[in-house]
Amino acid sequence: MESTDRRKTGATCRHSGEVPSFFVFKYPDGMSSPQVERAQQWLRAHESHLLADFQSVLRIPSIEADPLPNAPFGQANRDALDFALDLGKQWGMQTKDLDGYCGYAEFGSGDKLICIFGHLDVVPVGAGWKYDPFSATIDSGYVYARGATDDKGPTIAAFYAAKSLMELGEDLGCRIRVVFGCNEESGFKCIEHYVAHDEAPTFGVAPDAGWPLIHAEKGIANMVFRLNAPKSRFQFVSLEGGQRPNIVIDAAVGKILVANEVRAEVEEKLAKQWDKNLTWNWEGETLVINALGKAAHGSTPYFGDNAAARVLRFAAELAPAEEQEFWGDLFHTTHPSGLGLGIDGADEFTSLTSNLGVVEMKEGACHLTFNIRYPVTWKGETLKTRSEKKLAEDGLPLELAEFEDSVPLFFPLDHPLVKTVVDVYAEETGERLTPGVMGGGTYARAVPNSVAIGTGWVGDGKAHQTDERLKIENLYKMSRIYAHIFYRLTKA
């Protein structure tokens, strides 16, 4: 997922500045740096091709849509996959389409398998973009587009890095495979299909995180609560908003039925409205509240502004005295620490975050979906027991209706895969960074023997946010570092 300023993780990478010479990786006997230099020279000579292909894949609006034959995630996602596979075929790689769920291109031979897991699907775009989010417009050295940083840029950079090693024309003693997923942002069905039907890597990396890599990913749980609102004179009717659980809600609409005997009190409070991101109107006896917020990745909800939380806070302020506790407790559930759900806490690596990502009316009741990123040493069942206890204590009529859990990922710092990536990054940049812990989820958590590696630097746009962008020079720099990492893994 990322460095602390961008991408989809909220990673906590620390570094100590310049690397003393005795810490910089030295190639052991039998391993020659000229191969890496030659691969990087090829990448420099083909930067214009890399940029052109990057823009081409960005222009495919690969947001998940209704399934079609051999396109389980919609035609646009199928188009993005075909683009990558066709490029691999042009380069002379062996390609395989895994039923439209994902596909890969590979070269080399041997039992050892180095896999790169990138994804070509993107999250919805939202409003307020500087440029058309699928135009791949270049401005001041940056390419603006949905997916620029998450994850099309890193994926294409990694693909070119693999091609540069193929251009060495040498037997690397292994196979290098680039896997292209089409459903990372909304379910991981693509990578689950891969794991079920194809080969696990000897070493795998997902270019979708912070430098140098992420050695621990938080657990991720989606908790869907059904709200059974009590009858009252300030009666909850509906609340709707959100696109995905892992995106902060940027627009929401709430409706409240107001009894005649408290209408004057509510009107008086409305006259003192202060929130400029809220508008309201009456539809008969129903108060309709519209709120605007700011989207952000669900792993870092504090970087966004939750529109549904704005509606609930406003309702709590408007409510008659006898109704304020209910509305206040309901608003409190939106706290990004999980405090209002009773699940807040931390371990030695990181703390829990909670994002109310979707609110919707179905089956006659409002359902609230919280996207929880919990500490790496916790178990998902802890969330269920703690939230049920808290809601019972508060008397809040929320019932856990659905629970999905993706367990945490953890690699020790002395693992060969971790050490290799750290050493290469130090060699390439002069910085020895400590591997991070992140709240975002990558393919690494779903594939054996895999970690998520870095993707960009300060100034690149934040994943899942408006005006996502990637600096062109950073695209090139990534490709060169990836080539070095992949080569080193062939010798690990």
- Same topology for domains 14-218+409-491 and 220-406, yes or no? no
Phi first, then psi: give them for residue 365, nearest 5 degrees. -145, 160
- Residue 462 tokens, joined: 């934040």
The set of residues, in sequence order, having a beta carbon less than 8 Å from that of 175 and lying 6+ positions away, is: 106, 107, 108, 109, 110, 112, 113, 114
Supply the DSSP string of 239-304, one letter for each residue.
EEE-S-TTB---EEEEEEEE-HHHHHHHHHHHTT---TTEEEEEETTEEEEEEE-B--BTT-GGGS
One-letter amino acid of 230? P
Q: What CA–CA distance (Å, rounded) separates 268 from 292?
A: 23
215: left (phi over 0), alpha (psi -120 to 50) or beta: alpha
CB 359 within 8 A of CB 367: yes
Q: Give the start-to-end residue ranges of the domains of the chain.
A: 14-218+409-491, 220-406
Q: What is the pTM of this model?
A: 0.75
Is 121 catalytic? The answer is yes
Q: What is the pLDDT of residues 114-173, one digit of tens each?
A: 999 999 999 999 889 999 999 999 999 999 999 999 999 999 999 999 999 999 999 999
Burial (CB count <10 Å: 0-12, 13-18, 19+), residue 384: middle
C-alpha distances out from residue 197 to 200, 295, 396, 408, Å: 10, 36, 45, 23
Q: What is the 3-state secondary structure (H, E, C) of 128-179?
A: CCCCCCCCCEEECCEEECCCHHHHHHHHHHHHHHHHHHHCCCCCCCCEEEEE
**355 with 371: CB under 8 angstroms?**
yes
Residue from 121, 305, 428, 468 carrying the catalytic annotation: 121
| Among candidate residues 234, 88, 161, 60, the one with its CA nearest the CA of residue 476 | 161
pLDDT of residue 440: 80
Is the domain 14-218+409-491 a CATH 3.40.630.10 member? yes
Phi/psi for 193 (5° steps) reads -65, -40
Tens-place pLDDT, residues 221-250: 999 999 999 899 999 999 999 989 999 999
pLDDT by residue, tens only, the chain of 492 residues: 322 222 333 333 322 333 333 233 344 433 448 999 999 999 999 999 999 999 999 999 999 999 999 999 999 999 999 999 999 999 999 999 999 999 999 999 999 999 999 999 999 998 899 999 999 999 999 999 999 999 999 999 999 999 999 999 999 999 999 999 999 998 899 999 999 999 999 999 999 999 999 999 999 999 999 999 989 999 999 999 998 999 999 999 999 999 999 999 999 999 998 999 999 999 999 999 999 999 998 999 999 999 999 999 999 999 999 999 999 999 999 999 999 999 999 999 999 999 999 999 998 899 999 999 999 999 999 999 999 999 999 999 999 999 999 999 999 999 999 999 999 999 999 999 999 998 888 999 999 999 999 999 999 988 888 999 999 999 999 999 999 999 999 999
The CA-based diameter of the chain, rounded to the nearest angstrom, is 86
CATH of 220-406, one of 3.30.360.10, 3.90.180.10, 3.30.70.360, 3.40.50.360: 3.30.70.360
Is the separation of the CB atoms in 484 and 25 below 8 Å? no
Burial of residue 276 (CB within 10 Å: 0-12, 13-18, 19+) is exposed
Q: Evaluate the omega torsion of the peptide bond into residue 29 and state whether it is cis, within 30 degrees of 0.
A: no
Say what the alpha-carbon torsion angle 130, 133, 134, 137 is, to the nearest 10 degrees.
Answer: 30
Eight-class DSSP state of 68: B
Q: Which of 64, 150, 184, 208 is catalytic?
A: 184
DSSP per-residue codes, 324-383: HHHHHHHHHTT-TTSGGGT---B-SS-B-EEEEEEEEEETTEEEEEEEEEE-TT--HHHH
53: phi then psi, degrees, rounded to nearest 5: -70, -35
